[in-house]
Structure 1
Amino acid sequence: MTAYYEDLSPGTGMRAPRAWLRSSQPKLSLNGRWQFKFSTNPAEAPADDDWDELEVPGHWVLQGYDRPRYTNTAFPFPIDPPRTPEANPTGDHRRWFDLPEDWPRDGAVLRFEGVDSCFKVWVNDAEIGTAKGSRLPSEFDVGAHLWPGRNSLAVRVHQWSSGSYLEDQDMWWLPGIFRDVTLLARPVVEDVFVHADYEHLTGAGILRVDVDPSYARILVPELGLELAPEETVTIPSVEPWSAEVPRLYDAQVVAGGETVEVRIGFRTVAMVDGLLTVNGRPLFFRGVNRHEHDPRRGRAISVETMRQDLELMKQHNINAVRTAHYPPHPAFLDLCDELGLWVIDECDIETHGFIYTDWRGNPADDPDWAPMMLDRMRRMVERDKNHPSVVIWSLANESHRGRNFGTLAEWTRERDPSRALFYERDRSYEFSDFYSLMYTPLDELERIGTRTEDVTIDEPDLEARRRALPFILAEYAHAMGNGPGGLAEYQHVLERYPRLQGGFVWEWIDHGLLLPGATDYVYGGHFGERVHGANFCIDGLLFPDRTPSPGLLEYKKVIEPVRITGPNPLTIHNLQTFGPLDHLEFLWVEEVDGVEVAAGRLEVPGVEAGAPVEVDLPDLTSDVAGERWLTVRAVLAKDQSWAAAGHEVAWAQFELPSRVVEQPDASTEAVEPKVEWGDDRVLLGEGEFDLRSGRLVRLFGVPVEGPRLDLWRAPTDNDNGQGGNNSVAVEWRAAGLDRLEHRVDEVVVEEQQLVVRERVAPDGLGLGVRVSYRWRAVGDGLQLTVDVVPEGEWEGTAITPRCSSWPRIGVRMALPGSFGNVRWFGGGPGEAYADSREAARIGQYECTVDDFQTPYVVPQENGSRIDVRWAELTDADGNGLRVEGAPHFQLTARRWTTEDLERARHRSDPTPAEHIYVNLDLAQHGLGSASCGPPATPQHTLEVAERTFALTFRRTP
């Protein structure tokens, strides 16, 4: 006889799926401390002694039992569907609860919101039923088994089941009862299905509410409505729901003494002329993919954490969520309704691991698996059908092609024709209302936008249908480590073509786990697993503690719903689909050399959705000499549910004509110092150089090391890519850029300049660069000009591959460790790179060297400030070094070397040294998204080529 956890049944004894309802009926939360016993084999029966305790909701692998496992695509068990491994971790849970004599036990329902991956339940020793479908609700009738006073509940949970073959979703495998457990009194109102359409041409609302039982009454006090189930009414004027203006009407469904609270949003989803529309207007998604994750609790996240996520999304201009790759906790969708986000609700199906069998045995194309798959679709749709935020149902993720998706699509369209259907991985798109891809290169995205992409399906009818579909990027811009790069380029293409209706960045949060007592986040491989996805789960726009990463700040800037252009004319563009800009006020500030000299408020007339308006420039009359910038900011005029008044929504900067600074008469300048030779030193101005190497060793009396040419950086996750031809770091290492040797060829004086010539090259190869350092004294400082000329076999040979780019080009030097404060005039306040610089605005900033770092979970190149005009590194008394660019440079400063950073695997690995290591770069290579996507584009590639740059060093005042 097949064990229940290995059969193809969705479960036994479960009630029919229904909507998640807020009811006035009595209920009892069973969350809290449960007794727990762990076993490695499901055949073992728990003994009555030696039970431990465990928190529910929770995962036992995060509470001291067994271990979590992270895989991206591979199943962490042998592929032999529907069988499970003999070693199948099993957790027995039990608890007691008390029911008063008058508690309505008859007809009571026991509800589990989520149990991973299969479980059996007993109440007072009576077996009640079983269920699979980890991220879906399961309900059981238990009234006949309850009694007054003390009752027992036992739940046996198996980590692996036949259902696990449908749950390979690029995530931690975390077994347990991880969502709420609730005992509900008999529901009088069994189910509610709200149909609330909006007629955009007339402004009318059309409302019908299906209710079981049919004798219920539906009340909508604000609209003065009382109606019967299935009665259709037309309200002449309603305010529609949208993600921009999430207008909800409170309603009650009343029957037999029970009141169910429902929130109604009037909106109509339709496919019109090959586009997804809501309320008559095409949507544009500025979205993210979101796994449920908490660094300590895994997927057992609180409602407060859900709200924090959504508030952060709104604060960073995100308007859409794809619930990758399963339905979220139901409270999350309530919050999406309230705060306003478009939702693609994704079914709890992914069979990605079958790529390792070339899709042999894939459940998606096996009719025997159809009941289990359809059960998952039904439970999602029925649970979430009343949420106006849900505009698209997603059938699954990355499960190849299969006839079972036709079954899911047919049922869903019949049950709920008011929403669109989505599935990306079936390249016929036979059952999807969208054409969709992941990590699409920009040139291909352009072709899709113009409907000139290559033929993808051999069947003419399906090909014609696909080509007529709107396009959504299901995933793009892989936010792993330092990145993603290229967000602005993607946004330009997405906004250019109506067929492209936006996309969803992968993904929202790093899945780092923080174990009890630890300070470093861990990822795949930490627990001794042989099959794991390493740090591929560290790929979010938030760090695990929900601190926004530079990538999220970049995304916020790129997807601003208000675009400010100018300055002549200064134009405000409302990029929203529905809402005007009357919730915003527009502020301006004029700065000279990063210092504010004037500020004010712009008078902006009403700007309707999709419209621009020109605005008069403020009176900019400053006569202060220096580099002038105008910054215009759009901020919230009053508090919103997701941010306080003054929160910045959008901004733009414009360089203004600068006032000329009068230069002193050259005839009065002091004569330039001459080069002086010593026994082992060379002196030039206030610089002291080693005679043999020509290296600067003391500057303004301060010991220094360097500067010398640096072409290497600690590779980012996107540099490493996915290995092979998808890794620019592989190319760089093959060219020896990580092991360059410096040979001094000449130290001479030419025209009162100290000139040092070197050849920089790796062992074992015939390529390298010639570099000359030209030092001259300029007034109170020293100017360095660096000339770099590549030579040798950069184009490759029959044995050595071609190397077409460098990680960086600049100089590195070491300063005293006391120089721990940084002040600069340039891009900031955070890090920026060639293809991730939209969020950097020109100004004066300061912080410590320690705060200069970006604390990526896996250390890598970070912290670069771009377009720096000058920077000062000083000690606590303000003494230190000033560096000026000609005109600009990129600045990086840290307490460890690049090599230390490269070796590190966790945040605490780099050990602060006695020095501060400073990189002064002409440029760095772009970031790209090659950890799972395209590399940096050609315009952001730092090509191997001759380069010259100059820096001037001065003493700080």
Structure 2
Amino acid sequence: MSAHIGDFGRPHGTVPPRAALHTDAPSIDLSGAWRFRLSPTATGLDEFWAEGYDDSGWDALPVPSSWPMHGYGQPAYTNITYPFPVDPPHVPTENPTGDHRRVIEVPADWAGQRVLLRFEGVDSYGRVWVNGAEVGATQGSRLTHEFDVTAHLRAGEANVVAVRVHQWSAGSYLEDQDMWWLPGIFRAVTLEVRPSGGIDDVFVHAGFADGRGTLRVDAPDGALLSVPSLGLRDVAVNTDHVLDRVEPWTPETPTLYEAAVSTGAETVSLRIGFRTVAVVDGLLTANGQRIFFRGVNRHEFHPDLGRVVPLDAVRAELELMKTHHVNAIRTSHYPPDAALLDLCDELGFWVVVENDFETHGFEQNGWRNNPTDDPRWTDALVDRMRRTVQRDKNHPSVVMWSLGNEAGVGRNLASMAAVARELDPDRPLHYEGDRSNAHTDVHSRMYATPDEVAEIGAAPDGLPFVLCEYAHAMGNGPGLLSTYRELFERYPRCQGGFIWEWLDHGIRRGNHFAYGGDFGEPVHDGNFVIDGLVFPDRTPSPGLTELGAIFAPVRLVPDGDALTVRNGYDHRDLTGVTLDWTVAVDGTTVAAGSQAAPDLAPGQSAPLPALHADVPAGRGEAWLTVTARLAGATVGAGQVRLRSAADRPRRSGRRLVGDTLGPAVFRGGDLVALGGLALRGPRLDVWRAPIDNDVFGPDPVADRWRKAGLHRLTHRVVDAADGADGYVVTSRVAPAGSDRALLATYTWTADDDAVTLALHVEPTGDWDVPLPRAGVSMAIPGRLGAVEWFGGGPGEAYVDSSVAALVGRYESTVDALQTPYVRPQENGNRTKVRQASFTDPTGAGLELIGHPTFELTARRWSTAELTSARHTDDLRPGRDVHLHLDYGHHGLGTAACGPPPAPEAWLHAEPFDLVVTLRAR
């Protein structure tokens, strides 16, 4: 076997690629236990494929599987860098090689029939033998390969299928796709009869225009087509049909028609969706309407199984996407398991199917010897594109083909584009890396700033513009989502995009999820693989909740003291949508009702009529909340404040007596007790455990914070004195080695049962860096674990990620306030809190009242402990609850891979005031 293993990435011995079909032809699913042996190299191995070979000493391994997830070797993660020397097409001699054997019984009635052995996915190179005869090899890990094994099978007898899988091959240079390197036979393997006179391939062409459908099904001559619900029964294939009364397919109305193509030997079942995709006057359209991608990038990954994702998990994640109003998927960066596209047809998603191609690591060497511009790789790349198009061409959900991702430019792009257009001239092409758009039909960018998006959108002409990646969802974030949505709605040619990405690729390891470097990899990219809207177990993150609120199709926008409703659907009216409303005073509901949404076509808006009774007289803060629902699912929500709260009285009237001010006890200027409740603080605090968007990017703000010493501030009490304005403590807060400082003035006033802190902060010196946060921290007894608050909720929210936070009264626990980001970081903030209380099981505790509001965080570990943790189980609850009462936070942004927070979300070092009343309950 050659040291490069794979002949410049070309498979051999395969039959021509064809569509994935649901057929009644006999087949055998080879999923299950195979005999398995792992060797550290690809050389010096025995002839394990021989029929009489004794594999009794081997282990059993499930197929499909990624073998490192079953204890054979270790996973490894890199984003860009190849984990082997860049020496194409060669790979190291140290090349983990997995030998697989399976004995199968082939039915006697298969005798004389053509049989194909089909592999849906082998990472990265699989040599295949049947009964000792080599039949070929796969190249293209996430592509389907079929081998004609008719001459080698023995019907009615036991047969040996043997597969040698090499982790590294020439094809590995084409698969540098920002994910775990996980070898194995990770998708289904089947034996399938191809009956004489059967149907090897079908191509459905189903268009929609002017209220009518057009249908042509390309299939072998003599086959017959039936679509019973459209009145077609046993009609000729390869013939054009014009059909009235056809409903179009869209993600909002995913109408499918059951069809069958039959011969005397075989029947193939299909689901047909009618839609026409085209670029018209600079817009990417479907059925004549502009497409708006509210999309996500999706890798195939499972925290326990690696590249193997069970079908029930796939359906569940698609249903979760629909719940959060995602309408599009880019299959980054390869064709998915074919079953995904069946579900996308059924549930309703636009899909951009990407070729199994990325060579990002060549960028680190100036793109020298990049396969994209090397004719020795042309055949392999054209083969990959051909397999991509041929397998998935019958899905109405698929609206574009993508040539690949982050592979530079070169002559092979033209070759791939040519074969895609030859096979399927009706779908546009995408490839972000070619800024000339010589081979594509859309202009695509990654992580363009809002200003760049606006500039592109305002240009007088050009191609449709799609952000194939934006809003990097790594850790706490992303911010800026509402900014991008507004740009997509303002500029028609800016047709949305795809969040990077859907899923955190954490591997379950004990009580935490592991990331790059946790398996001893000498080269890795750390937690950059943890960048999804859902956690590895597919639990939604706050980022997904925010995205769902922003993508919600029914928009309820404040307009004075009323709300305007806007139909944000692209293809349907608001029939069936109900508007449930409540009026609440200080978070307590005083009136409620429901009514049908107004009759609005897509894009139309209308003011809502009065939905509520008069607000009861009083001084409380009153809010109208409207929730739009369709078939029980929430499709939008909005609020408007009907009455502002009266100013809350500050506590006053008590003078300092010794160390006591009303119910409060001070020591050295610090509050240490309140009504018998032991406390520590509050004192000025500006540090937060950096989020990933603070840590990564070309100019990480966390590096600037550390250089400025914001994580190691010291406090010096300048003065503490009782006066006419209250007990006033002044403090200078500064890092060692710098003359910049924050001058904090704490003014305490009190009455019999509460104290009020009025904090004023003045920065001095040269502050050329924003603050992470601005407020105070304090510690309270750990038994106060129940939390109730009136403010934004129910979930986490920050200045540039708060659309989902509605004002109301909420309950939780300190533990439930935490967001378990895979790499621990700042989390759990509740925004615009008016009032909060922390209580023990008896109801005793601490009440906090804002004047008017504060940001609230509570956790059972300190910020220092949160900052130093690498995994969630590094965080051990202590004896205290640590509170942060903040004036503000620096924004989240998406700078881990994209722009920083918008200017208005920066927390500049400027004077600020924070006023909070504390009362022991």
Partner of 1:72: 79
Aligned alpha-carbon RMSD (Å)? 1.6
Q: Secondary structure at the match of 1:65?
A: coil
User: 2:690 matched to 1:715?
Assistant: yes
Letter in 1 for 2:674: L
CA contact (8 A) 1:632 1:653 kept: yes
Partner of 1:694: 669
5+ residue gaps, structure 1, are: 453-466, 638-645, 795-801
CA contact (8 A) 2:562 2:640 kept: no
Q: Secondary structure at the match of 2:14?
A: coil
Partner of 2:325: 317
User: 2:626 matched to 1:632?
Assistant: yes
Deviations 1:628-655, CA, capped at 9 Å, x for gaps:
1111111123xxxxxxxx2211100110
How far has the Cα of 1:4 moved from its partner? 7.3
Deviations 1:347-386, CA, capped at 9 Å, x for gaps:
0000000011100000001111111001000001000000
Farther off after superposition, 810-819 or 45-54: 45-54
User: 2:639 matched to 1:653?
Assistant: yes
Q: What does 1:541-940 align with in structure 2 at a 5 Å threshold?
A: 541-566=533-558, 570-625=563-618, 626-637=620-631, 646-658=632-644, 672-677=653-658, 682-690=659-667, 693-722=668-697, 725-751=698-724, 753-794=726-767, 802-803=768-769, 805-940=770-905
> Which residue of 87, 92, 95 corresponds with 1:85?
92
Q: Secondary structure at the match of 1:11?
A: coil
Letter in 2 for 1:714: A
CA contact (8 A) 1:12 1:130 kept: yes
Partner of 1:13: 13
Work out the percentage of aligned pairs sharing the same amino acid.
51
Distance, in Å, in 2 between the alignment partners of 1:523 and 1:706 is 37
CA contact (8 A) 2:581 2:612 kept: no
How far has the Cα of 1:19 moved from its partner? 0.2
Is the alpha carbon distance of 1:605 and 1:51 closer, same or farther for their aligned partners in structure 2, counting shifts above 3 Å?
Answer: same
> Which residue of 488, 495, 507 corresponds with 2:501?
507
> Which residue of 495, 511, 514 corresponds with 1:522?
514
User: 2:91 matched to 1:97?
Assistant: no
CA contact (8 A) 1:6 1:83 kept: no
Distance, in Å, in 2 between the alignment partners of 1:104 and 1:173 is 40
Partner of 1:468: 462
CA contact (8 A) 1:624 1:659 kept: no
Distance, in Å, in 2 between the alignment partners of 1:37 and 1:103 is 31
User: 2:328 matched to 1:328?
Assistant: no
Partner of 2:43: 43
Distance, in Å, in 1 between the alignment partners of 2:343 and 2:692 is 33
CA contact (8 A) 2:77 2:515 kept: yes
How far has the Cα of 1:104 moved from its partner? 5.2
User: 2:201 matched to 1:191?
Assistant: yes
CA contact (8 A) 1:675 1:752 kept: no
Distance, in Å, in 1 between the alignment partners of 2:633 and 2:753 is 44
How far has the Cα of 1:105 moved from its partner? 6.0
Is the alpha carbon distance of 1:832 and 1:63 closer, same or farther for their aligned partners in structure 2, counting shifts above 3 Å?
Answer: same
Is the alpha carbon distance of 1:686 and 1:569 closer, same or farther for their aligned partners in structure 2, counting shifts above 3 Å?
Answer: closer
CA contact (8 A) 2:583 2:612 kept: no
User: 2:297 matched to 1:289?
Assistant: yes
Letter in 2 for 1:532: H
How far has the Cα of 1:619 moved from its partner? 3.4
Distance, in Å, in 2 between the alignment partners of 1:494 and 1:612 is 17
Deviations 1:399-434, CA, capped at 9 Å, x for gaps:
111111111111211211111100001121111111
Distance, in Å, in 1 between the alignment partners of 2:705 and 2:563 is 45
Partner of 1:58: 65
5+ residue gaps, structure 2, are: 49-53
Letter in 2 for 1:857: V
Q: What does 1:264-413 align with in structure 2 at a 5 Å threshold?
A: 264-413=272-421
Distance, in Å, in 1 between the alignment partners of 2:37 and 2:644 is 73
CA contact (8 A) 2:206 2:213 kept: yes
Farther off after superposition, 600-609 or 857-866: 600-609
Letter in 2 for 1:675: L
Deviations 1:689-748, CA, capped at 9 Å, x for gaps:
11xx211111110111111000100000001123xx521111111111010001111111
Partner of 1:640: none
CA contact (8 A) 1:100 1:149 kept: yes
Q: Secondary structure at the match of 2:513?
A: coil
How far has the Cα of 1:659 moved from its partner? 8.0
Q: TM-score, normalised by structure 1?
A: 0.93
How far has the Cα of 1:897 moved from its partner? 0.2
User: 2:289 matched to 1:246?
Assistant: no
User: 2:135 matched to 1:128?
Assistant: yes
Distance, in Å, in 2 between the alignment partners of 1:660 and 1:827 is 19
Is the alpha carbon distance of 1:619 and 1:761 closer, same or farther for their aligned partners in structure 2, counting shifts above 3 Å?
Answer: closer
Q: Secondary structure at the match of 1:371?
A: helix
Distance, in Å, in 2 between the alignment partners of 1:263 and 1:153 is 33
> Which residue of 515, 521, 526 corresponds with 1:534?
526
CA contact (8 A) 2:545 2:804 kept: yes
How far has the Cα of 1:569 moved from its partner? 5.5
How far has the Cα of 1:9 moved from its partner? 5.1
Q: Secondary structure at the match of 1:788?
A: strand
Q: TM-score, normalised by structure 2?
A: 0.97
How far has the Cα of 1:10 moved from its partner? 1.8
How far has the Cα of 1:771 moved from its partner? 0.8
CA contact (8 A) 1:194 1:208 kept: yes
Q: What does 1:938-953 align with in structure 2 at a 5 Å threshold?
A: 938-953=903-918
Deviations 1:244-273, CA, capped at 9 Å, x for gaps:
100111110101321100111111111100
Partner of 2:228: 221
Is the alpha carbon distance of 1:658 and 1:524 closer, same or farther for their aligned partners in structure 2, counting shifts above 3 Å?
Answer: closer
Partner of 1:171: 179
CA contact (8 A) 2:680 2:779 kept: yes
Distance, in Å, in 1 between the alignment partners of 2:874 and 2:72 is 27
Q: Secondary structure at the match of 1:383?
A: helix
Partner of 2:51: none
Distance, in Å, in 2 between the alignment partners of 1:852 and 1:569 is 32
Distance, in Å, in 1 between the alignment partners of 2:9 and 2:524 is 29
Q: Secondary structure at the match of 2:811?
A: strand
CA contact (8 A) 2:503 2:534 kept: yes
How far has the Cα of 1:345 moved from its partner? 0.4
Distance, in Å, in 2 between the alignment partners of 1:899 and 1:620 is 50
